[in-house]
Copies of this chain bind each other. A is one copy, B any other.
Amino acid sequence: MGQELTGNLLVAQSGGPTPVINASLAGVITEALQYEDNIVEIYGGLNGIQGILNEQLIDLAAESQQTVRALNHTPGAALGTCRYKMKKQQDFDRVLDVFAAHDIRYFLYIGGNDSQDTAAKINALAIERGYDLRVIGVPKTIDNDLPVTDHCPGYGSVIKHIATTVREMSLDNAAMGQHDFVSILEVMGRNAGWIAAGSVLAKRRNFQLEDAPHIVLLPEERFNQQAFVDAVQNVLRKQKHCFVVASEGLLDADGNFLGADASRPDAFGHAVLGGVGEYLRTVVEENLAGVKARSAKLGISQRAASHNGSLADVEEAFLAGKAAVQAAVAGETGKMVVLVREERENKDQYAVTTDLAPLEEIANNVKPFPASWIGEDKMSVGFQFTKYAQPLIQGELPLSYENGLPKYAQLSAERIERKLDAYDTSK
């Protein structure tokens, strides 16, 4: 238990949105209201660290209870996020200036690897300067590739939607009947195959070979065209259609992204991906005479499909937000909340608690998909994965609809008055 600290709390969101990043925000707001003695004001920073640099803060305590509740099933990121990479010392100094100007003593950052790296550096600088600050990270990434934590909030909802989509598409494929048909679904996952692997939950029971998906291509295994073509042919010998799920991060034998546009790296230097599905469609049609293939690419919709979110995921995202506030108030800093799967006597029972891990341990590390969970054919995943992932997609959040569409939260976003001069992030 650290010393008592009284001041304002600032929460911000960073990186790509997830279906439940706003549920974590709701958890933070709800819990922060419980600590009146420590937390005076609850501020939100717009567009992650970039908005903080620009002193764009809003008053989250002013939001209605209804809005906070609706955050649990609202896609996007209600505060806005950024992919701005802080590099200059000047940026870090500015963050602490903004914090000091607004008496920010609790900083909660909801984000993935890069974001927790930023949080770690802010924490280190605050310690160096003797500025009393508690920095706690809240895990967030659909990629499920943060280390230490059993899994990441956002992942369960994304694979629930992808598995639903595979099951629905495969019913359509099966209906079309008579001809050799290959359906290819390209999903996200730049470095790790967690998302593509999640598609196997579409199988009715574990390892029903006849159920889609029949082939799952993970970025952990280099693409072998001949083996792939053979595998498709093998499936088509037994089934009328073949369902392939491919990760956007698939690499060829030389380690280049399949169908990627390497000429346009993003702000973090990652290559822009996106063409795997169409690439594989061409491979199938050019190598298997008379076989028809079609590809689909859910794109951003797969990480925004809150209408089909996992209740377990929403609840854990909320829990992680709450736990971050509790940890900060208890005196912790420089840590990220992690999810811990409880061992139960009844092994079918699933329960999660939270713990903390040092931000440095999280920052810029990637948790690979376990090699032992990949099938010998290198195009399937084993029962260990199914056992791991199935609890993460359980339950459905009741949605409110308006005029035929899900009703999503929108913050009223009351601005906090600026206290500093403007800051130019481009300098």
State whether A404 touches B408 (Cβ < 8 A). Answer: no
Q: Does A396 have its Cβ within 8 Å of any Cβ on chain B?
A: yes
Which of A66-111 touch B at CB < 8 Å? 74-84
Question: Which of A189-197, A297-305, A372-380 forms part of the interface with chain B?
Answer: A297-305
State whether A307 touches B403 (Cβ < 8 A). Answer: no
Q: Which residue among A169, A306, A394 has the maximum number of chain B CB atoms within 10 Å of its CB? A: A169
Q: A348 CA to B93 CA in the complex, in Å? A: 58
State whether B307 touches A175 (Cβ < 8 A). Answer: no
Residues of chain B within 8 A (CB-CB) of A406 are 164, 167-168
State whether B17 touches A405 (Cβ < 8 A). Answer: no
State whether A408 touches B172 (Cβ < 8 A). Answer: no
State whether B50 touches A165 (Cβ < 8 A). Answer: no
Number of copies: 2
Cβ proximity bits A264-278 to B, threshold 8 Å, 1 near / 0 not? 100000000011001
Residues of chain B within 8 A (CB-CB) of A359 are none
Residues of chain B within 8 A (CB-CB) of A84 are 178
Q: Which residue among A46, A172, A395 has the maximum number of chain B CB atoms within 10 Å of its CB? A: A172
Residues of chain B within 8 A (CB-CB) of A305 are 165, 168
Q: Which residue among A80, A171, A296, A396 has the maximum number of chain B CB atoms within 10 Å of its CB? A: A171
Residues of chain B within 8 A (CB-CB) of A178 are 47, 50, 82, 84
Return the chain B residue nearest A264 by Cβ: B285
Return the chain B residue nearest A275 by Cβ: B278
State whether A76 touches B298 (Cβ < 8 A). Answer: no
State whether B307 touches A308 (Cβ < 8 A). Answer: yes
Q: Which residue among A75, A201, A285 has the maximum number of chain B CB atoms within 10 Å of its CB? A: A75
Residues of chain B within 8 A (CB-CB) of A274 are 278, 294-295
State whether B47 touches A307 (Cβ < 8 A). Answer: no
State whether B408 touches A403 (Cβ < 8 A). Answer: no
Q: Which residue among A47, A50, A310, A404 has the maximum number of chain B CB atoms within 10 Å of its CB? A: A404
State whether B405 touches A175 (Cβ < 8 A). Answer: no
Which of A381-407 touch B at CB < 8 Å? 390, 393-396, 401, 403-406
Return the chain B residue nearest A281 by Cβ: B274
Residues of chain B within 8 A (CB-CB) of A396 are 401
List the 5 closest pairs (A to B, CB-CB), nearest first: A296-B299, A76-B171, A393-B404, A77-B175, A168-B304
5 contacts between A and B (CB under 8 A): A17-B175, A50-B178, A76-B172, A164-B307, A183-B300
Task: Given contacts A160-B405, A164-B406, A171-B304, list 19 more A-B pairs with CB under 8 A.
Answer: A17-B175, A46-B177, A50-B178, A75-B172, A80-B175, A169-B300, A173-B300, A274-B295, A278-B278, A294-B300, A295-B299, A296-B297, A296-B299, A296-B300, A297-B297, A308-B308, A390-B403, A393-B405, A394-B404
